[in-house]
Chain A
Amino acid sequence: DQQVKQNSPSLSVQEGRISILNCDYTNSMFDYFLWYKKYPAEGPTFLISISSIKDKNEDGRFTVFLNKSAKHLSLHIVPSQPGDSAVYFCAGFAVGQNFVFGPGTRLSVLP
């Protein structure tokens, strides 16, 4: 059972435009959701998180939206930059349980 799903394996966006990465989950017990970015040959790095009691969290060009009723969250990057090209992992966390990561979405920002 895949608790965290990222149904788009890849996404291409023009520089300057908005990138929207989607994530769906099945575990209603998740307390936090996190987004990680991974460049080739490097470990994932934390990008932004959101608590399950919120519906939006913003940090610079990055905004995460949470729709609990739909069990859906999305990461918006605006404006997109070539340096944003990476694999983005969505993860869910429930207190007392382990982090569950999605399969990732590869974002390519085209100059």
Chain B
Amino acid sequence: GAGVSQSPSNKVTEKGKDVELRCDPISGHTALYWYRQSLGQGLEFLIYFQGNSAPDKSGLPSDRFSAERTGESVSTLTIQRTQQEDSAVYLCASSLMKSSGETQYFGPGTRLLVL
């Protein structure tokens, strides 16, 4: 079956531009997560969606970052006025639910480079 997909796989942008990253979770997965992995660092939690509940935005590093998800489908992560320190791999993951520590299934990531 289809796994988590992300697009684009690579994105190069200029400082100050906006970027939009897309995540297609596994069908039926109610939980969706965005993480960021900077060079040499671990996975940094950004935001979490669970069904129609209000998202947990506690990991977003600044108000330049926002994310949306419609129902239990596609999610988009938007970074406005990109900075060089935003360069990282942005990973999306989905799971059936979160409450019992369900395994997360990760997408391949979007590699963002801000020049």
What residues make up the interface of A, taking CB atoms closer than 8 Å to B?
A: 4, 6, 31-32, 34, 36, 41-46, 49, 89, 91, 93, 95-96, 98-104
| Cβ contacts under 8 Å, B1 to chain A | none
Task: Mark out the residues of chain B between 64 and 96 whose CB falls within 8 Å of any chain A CB in the assembled complex.
Answer: 91, 93
Since A34-B103, A46-B104, A102-B42 are in contact, a sample of 13 more A-B pairs with Cβ atoms closer than 8 Å, ordered by chain A residue number, is: A32-B101, A41-B108, A42-B108, A43-B107, A43-B108, A44-B43, A45-B106, A95-B101, A98-B48, A99-B45, A101-B35, A101-B43, A103-B40
Majority DSSP secondary structure for residues of B touching A: loop
Knowing A49-B101, A98-B48, the reply to whether A44 touches B42 (Cβ < 8 A) is: no
| Cβ contacts under 8 Å, A95 to chain B | 99-101
| Cβ contacts under 8 Å, B45 to chain A | 98-101
Chain B interface size, under 10 / 10 to 19 / 20 to 34 / 35 or more? 20 to 34
A107 to B107, CA, bound (A): 22
| Cβ contacts under 8 Å, A93 to chain B | 101
Cβ-neighbour of B103 out of A4, A41, A49, A98 (below 8 A): A49
A9, closest chain B residue (CB): B40
Least distance between A51 CB and chain B CB atoms (Å)? 8
A31 to B99, CA, bound (A): 11
The reply to whether A43 and B4 form a contact with Cβ atoms under 8 Å apart is yes
List the 4 closest pairs (A to B, CB-CB), nearest first.
A43-B106, A32-B101, A103-B42, A101-B43
